[in-house]
Amino acid sequence: MKYLYDVWVNWFEGEEHGYNVCAYHEWRKNDKIDILEQVPSLYITEAFYAYIENSLHHLPEAFLEKIHKRAYIRKGVSRRVLDYACIVTDGKRILALNTLGYQIPIQKSRLIPRQERQVLENYQQKKRDFFSFTPIQKDDAVGLLSMKEYHVIGLTRRERQLKKLLLIALDKLRLTDNRNEVLYWLSEWDIQMVQSIRMEATIEDIWTVLYNSVQNGWSEAHERLCAQIIKGNPFLEKYWELENENSHNPSH
């Protein structure tokens, strides 16, 4: 196990999916950057790395024992020990984590490029640390607001956030008992799809067509639908405004 010093981290909390833990080039000026004065790093298997990066499940006791109270965070002139924090790599991907004293990786962060290179250089031709864990068998059916990785490949931080916002709005639309309203939003998305809807199609059928068709990528059509469908909802409108303001303030 090796150590890194003065490591910049931008914690993303409670993220089950690694694609929501933003790379350095997507950090923003209003993100809260912490500095880990000292943090251990471990070279682990690809399977265990994926388990940590893409879940919020319990970490093995042996892993927690190995990193226990070995990391320090600097706050001004003071330093504080962290119960369970470290950097992990599978030789290709890199992730910092902090459990906040629990047994799950509640906080996750990427590193700045220079420190990523340092981690990779530390473990060239080194042996991996092996930890026993139970792989999680995930159902292919993800939650309505949980996008699969291939649905967000190539999207920017702003586009991922707005896509999540669109799915929240569609989830609310799903609860409506108004067939014409669902048809209207389908027509706003793609009028040709409305023409293919059968007369006997239920509200759920129509909604499913709309939901499935917006899953892939992000385009001007997605942007337009999102802007329109959130109108009248103060919470979603505020989220939209903040995301658009933040997207104009990258950290570099």
| Same domain? 6 vs 79 | yes
Cα-Cα-Cα-Cα dihedral sign, residues 240, 171, 17, 11: positive
CA distance 227 to 138: 33
pLDDT at 250: 60
148: phi then psi, degrees, rounded to nearest 5? -75, 155
| Same domain? 168 vs 212 | yes
Residue 251 included in any domain? no
Residues 6+ apart with CB under 8 A from 28: 157, 246, 249, 250, 251
CA distance 39 to 18: 20
Residue 214 included in any domain? yes
Residue 136 included in any domain? no
pLDDT band at 141, cuts 50/70/90? very low
| Same domain? 106 vs 157 | no
Q: Is the pLDDT of residue 143 over 90?
A: no
For 181-229, write each residue's pLDDT tens digit. 999 999 999 999 998 898 889 999 999 999 999 998 999 999 999 999 9
Range of the domain at 155: 149-246
- Name the residue type at position 172: K
| Same domain? 222 vs 163 | yes
Residue 41 included in any domain? yes
CA distance 58 to 131: 13
Strands (E), the chain: 2-9, 12-13, 34-43, 68-75, 78-89, 94-98, 107-109
Residue 130 included in any domain? no
For 2-58, write each residue's pLDDT tens digit. 999 999 999 999 999 999 999 999 999 999 999 999 999 999 999 999 999 999 999
Residue 95 included in any domain? yes
Residue 181 included in any domain? yes
Residue 235 included in any domain? yes
Contact 223, 188 (CB under 8 A): no
| Same domain? 29 vs 116 | yes
What's the total number of domains in the chain?
2
| Same domain? 16 vs 89 | yes
| Same domain? 17 vs 116 | yes
pLDDT at 184: 96
CA distance 79 to 39: 13
pLDDT at 75: 85
For 106-130, write each residue's pLDDT tens digit. 999 999 999 999 999 999 878 999 9
For 71-101, write each residue's pLDDT tens digit. 999 988 889 999 999 999 999 999 999 999 9
| Same domain? 239 vs 155 | yes
Angle between helical axes of 157-174 and 234-246 (0-180°, round to 10): 170
| Same domain? 110 vs 8 | yes
